[in-house]
Each structure stands twice: as structure tokens, then as C-alpha cells.
Structure 1
């Protein structure tokens, strides 16, 4: 009796043959790839870790010696099977079971970082108090462990750390009453040619609110003393509620200038030499002022300069988002956050400064 293939059986055989051919081509490619890798590696021994040997041993045992000889190129079948035998032996090796490891378990990195953070932010805290603070958030740690962690980081015990208060800690402690002052310069075309103008600004560190105190070609002592009186005026002075004013060692901030500040209970904080990073807030303000306004314009006369600064300061306070304030506006208007109304653009300085808002219906 003749066996007649059904169409579906013939189709199945064709598909199976095609799949088998595809698999053989993949295997052949992998064999060639392994051979190339082996030739590239040369006669040097290929070093594997335990996990890599385990994976090869498990898969190699499934294939068996005969098929390993057909597809394996990097390692011999005996090597693969020897690894598998070792895995089996390790599985049934009970010699280390039930033994308790000596010593205390290692502290997680998260706990170590928390200890370091607390020590840096609280210079007067001792080991016990730091350990208690860590315990309050769910981590049990001894004072001796705290001591070891701080010693590894080069952090001194509490009495020494207390005498080494960081600049960041100082700023945070006086956040509400702290301001900074500094000069920047800009070139202006005048009848006498290109002239350097000195621009003096003050900034509140907490709010980032800034104040343009004035500009001059010669910041002499008389001009500076008048600036000090304006800043400390009891009614409208920008520094009337500030107790400390950060400044650099520029001789323009003369003794008479500082004396007027002291008389109004605003203590000058003079920075060490060559330390611009300690006045980073006003330096960051200057970078924005220059990149967004001063460096993009040519000024003809003092009036054009003052007008540009006036426009920028309005934009800075009521229209510009600030990263240091969590992307908020210093003095936001009522239109901020509205979801209804037509979107409009308010331009300043001929489109150099743009503000997008919704017009109230």
C-alpha cells in the first residue's frame, strides 16, 4: 500500500527542513565566530569566572559529548563536562552548611552615606548622637561604627568639626539675613570713545532678589559712601533687614563704606583672598545678566545702559524662572499658571528677553 502525503504534511516537512537549515546556519556562524575569537586570543588561556563556567557547564551537559564536539570550539567537551561534575559535587558538599560566619556584617553603603551626611551637617554632634539620629530612620548602628566611618572619611571628632564650620553651613545658618555685593563691568561707547562702566549689584541669597545700586566710570570713596547710605536707609534701603553683607577684598569697599554698614547693624563679611566661589550667588547672577543681556548688546551712552539694565531687572524678577528656586519666578504675576486664555509673548529689549503668558479673558 502506497503512503500518500497530505498537503499539510508536505508543508510541515518543508517548514521543518527550512527551520533545521536555519538552525544549522546559525550554529555554523557561531562556530566560525568562536574560532575567530580563539585565533584572536592566541595561545593565551581564556580565564572565566565561576558564573561563566556554570552557565557553560549547564548548557554543555544538556548537549552531551557528541554534540559538543560538533559545535564547541573554545573549550573541549571534557572541560565542559568536568565543570558540570564539579557543580554536582559542590551541590552535595555540606561541609560549610550550618557554620556561622565570624565578624559583624558589613554596613550598607546607604547607612555609611547617611552617617557622613549627618556628621557634615551637624558639626557639634558626637558619635552617640549621630548613631541615635541614624536609629530614628530605621538603621541600628553603634557609636563605634560611627567613629570608624568618620575616621575612614577623614572627619574629625565633634570638638574639632565644630571648629571647622563649612561655608555652606554658615550660609544656611544666616539664610534669612544674608546678602552679597559685588561689581561687574561693561564697555560703553561715549563721546570720548569706549569707556568702562562699573555696575554695582546686591543680591538676597535666600530669595535671589537683586538690586542695581548704580553705575559709574569711577567708583571713588564719596560715591561708595552714598551707595552705603542708600542701601541702609531705614525706609527704602535694600539692606534695611539684612544683618550680614558678603563682599570681596576689593579696595573699593573701603573702611568708610564698611563703617556706614556697621552703623546700621549690617556687618560686612570680607572674603579671603582669591575665593570667588565663596560669593557664588552673585557670580551666578552676573553670568545670567551678561549672557542674556550685556554681552548681546552694544551700548551708546549711559542712558542706553541704564535702560537695558532696568528692562533686564524687571524680566529677572517677574518673568524669569530660576533653577535655584525650583524653577519658580521670584515675583510671579497673577497670570502665572493660568490654563485658559490666548497665549501671548511679552518682548523686552527688541526680543532679546521674551515672556510667554495667557492673556486674561
Structure 2
């Protein structure tokens, strides 16, 4: 193989995927046995590839997340749908509509209970204007649900 490559004057240029596979597979071969292998690259090239792969991996993980956070996919879809359905609206009108939606959604009150034994969260209900009567009724509904559940449990 070395003679064939020398005769053509071309050396293979493996891409990063090939280099990763070669580096990982040769990492499994004992060092004494690795010296007797005929490789298309020099023996020092494989550890260098491995170091480069690790350096790239950890560099990506430690890179600071600069700039604006990514827009959530649901919001992006909503904005595009509003723009498509309302071609006369500009970005200011769409922004105003989204701000109105966020304000309306933030005033909803949710009553939830956590079961400590199972760490299960039960959402009892939601309302725009919670009152004492509403809270009492939600508690009664929960007790009736628990009573029905206890009747079906076999000890």
C-alpha cells in the first residue's frame, strides 16, 4: 500500500469522521502491537488527531454564549403566522400584539397541590380572579377525587 501511494504521489486525506474512527479504534490496540501496524499515517499523527478532537469538543462546551438568546420555535412560528395572515401589519404591530398576549397570559392564577409521597403535582384549576369561594370549591373537588381514588385501591 505504501508503494502504491508513493507511486501515485498522492496521500489520502481522511476527513474528521474518518480521523475520529481511526483514532478511537487505534486507542483500543495495545501500544506494543500498534508499532507493528502498517498505517497510512505516521504513528504520532493518531494521538494528535485524538488531542485535536478532544480540544474541539471541550472548546465548544466552554465557549461563552454571547449575544441574544435564541427565539423559541413556538414564538417564531406565531410571528410568521401573524405576518402571513396580516400582510398590512408591520413589525411594531406584531410586537404589540405579542406583548398583549404576554400580559393576558401572565394574569392567570393556577391552584396546584403537590403530593409529597409520589411527588405528583395536581393542577386543581385556573382562574383570572381567584376568590375564597373558588379556592374552597377546588379543595372540595380534590377531596372528592381522592375519596374516589381511595375506593378503588386494594390493600
TM (normalized to structure 1)?
0.20
- Structure holding more strand per residue: 1
- Higher Cα radius of gyration: 1
- Structure holding more helix per residue: 2
* Larger RCO, structure (CA 8 Å, separation 6 or more): 2
TM (normalized to structure 2)?
0.38
